[in-house]
Homo-oligomer: A and B are copies of this chain.
Amino acid sequence: MDLKYSPEEETFRAEVRAFFDAELPTDIRTKLQLERRISKDDMVRWQKILFRKGWGAVNWPKSFGGTGWDIVQQHIFEEERADACAPPQNPFSLKMLAPVMQTFGNAAQQEYFLPRILSGEDWWCQGYSEPGSGSDLASLRTSAVRQGDHYIVNGQKTWNTMGQYADWIFCLVRTSSEGRQQQGISFLLIDMKSPGITVRPIIMLDGEHEINDIFFDNVQVPVQNLIGEENKGWTYAKFLLTHERSGNAGIGACKRALKKLKEIAAEQKSNGRPLIEDSRFRDRIALVEMELMALEITNLRVLSATAKEQRALGPEVSVLKIKGSEIIQQLAELKMHALGHDALPYVREALDLAWVGDPLLSAHYRSYAPPISGQYFNQRKTTIYAGSTEIQKNIISQMILGL
């Protein structure tokens, strides 16, 4: 038993870190350091930089232009990314759609779409959930009716993240009402510029616009945009969901948030002394840090076992998803509590890096304070989306415990 990374892995980490130091644009880095808003443009700029380096898709096989990195390398890359305050890449195209397309898509689809994802040319979003179908995804009702060379799509998708920027959307649609719900579902690629698509913003509880309702009114979709076979979409969907869950432990993001929490607790004062010297608050930090220490090893144990056994990630990722989301929520909550009264102000403009701030507001309010309460509110979603904690526990009790 040995927790040390191999010399090769350490060299790899150094290379990644050096690259981030050299290539990550300062304005983007600063935005992430101060946890301010980042734009689609920021993310695309970064994707193009990674693409030039040949790191456009860290989870793809070389054959499709990916890095072909093993699962530990991907973990190291993600850890360094978070630590370097580099933006995440678009997960919908790289982590969700691409594996499906590479496994079930046809040559034409692979040749056209994958390079455009890699280069940052196309921005993809996801069309899964519907108002009536959250945890019970298979009950979806958006219909696609075959008419000649097209499907005519009607219905509504919701909880669509960053669709307001998207060139394309991949959707689960109902192409048959025969048999079990799961049997009538197909996987369609839809051009967001198609007539009949309306994007309606959904404002989150933190006041930000990151998700949308998307309405389809007789939208024409060429049949060649069907992935795999008609009515086989549920198979592809489940395949995608496992890939989505992988890496959901978010160790890198948690470590970054813990670091930030400690900085804030050292800055904030309680009765004139640094808050972190208050043993009660320090204990709260300690409890989360211990949980994170454990999860980092649990995560690596799962990854290395999976790698060793050459298999896809199994239900054990539910453990990672549950713990990872709890930890990131607890860290967000502690950051907020570290602020005390200073968590109360809500200054939307302050979330833009450009904002210079009212000189009257206490100094820290012009540095780390503005995004923090909003983050706590926003992070409540992490135990809800991508399979709520309740769903994950159902998966564990059924697929691991056999209950």
Which residues does A use to contact B, with CB under 8 Å?
Answer: 279-280, 283
Contact = CB atoms under 8 A, between A and B. Distances in A.
How many copies the complex holds: the figure is: 2
A227 to B, nearest CB: 41
A392 B220 CA distance: 56
Contacts of A280: 279, 283
A283 B284 CA distance: 13
3 contacts: A279-B279, A279-B280, A280-B283
A283 B283 CA distance: 12
Contacts of A283: 280
A279 B283 CA distance: 12
A151 to B, nearest CB: 42
A283 B280 CA distance: 9
Contacts of A279: 279-280
A279 B282 CA distance: 13
A270 B283 CA distance: 19
A174 B123 CA distance: 71
A308 to B, nearest CB: 40
What 3 pairs across the A-B complex have the smallest Cβ distances?
A: A279-B279, A279-B280, A280-B283
A403 to B, nearest CB: 15
A279 B281 CA distance: 12
A283 B279 CA distance: 12
A279 to B, nearest CB: 7
A280 B280 CA distance: 8
Nearest to A283: B280
A138 to B, nearest CB: 25
A271 to B, nearest CB: 15
A279 B280 CA distance: 8
A280 B284 CA distance: 12
A279 B279 CA distance: 9
A164 B248 CA distance: 58
A280 B282 CA distance: 12
A401 B285 CA distance: 37
A25 to B, nearest CB: 46
A175 B133 CA distance: 51
A281 to B, nearest CB: 12
A283 B278 CA distance: 14
A35 B403 CA distance: 42
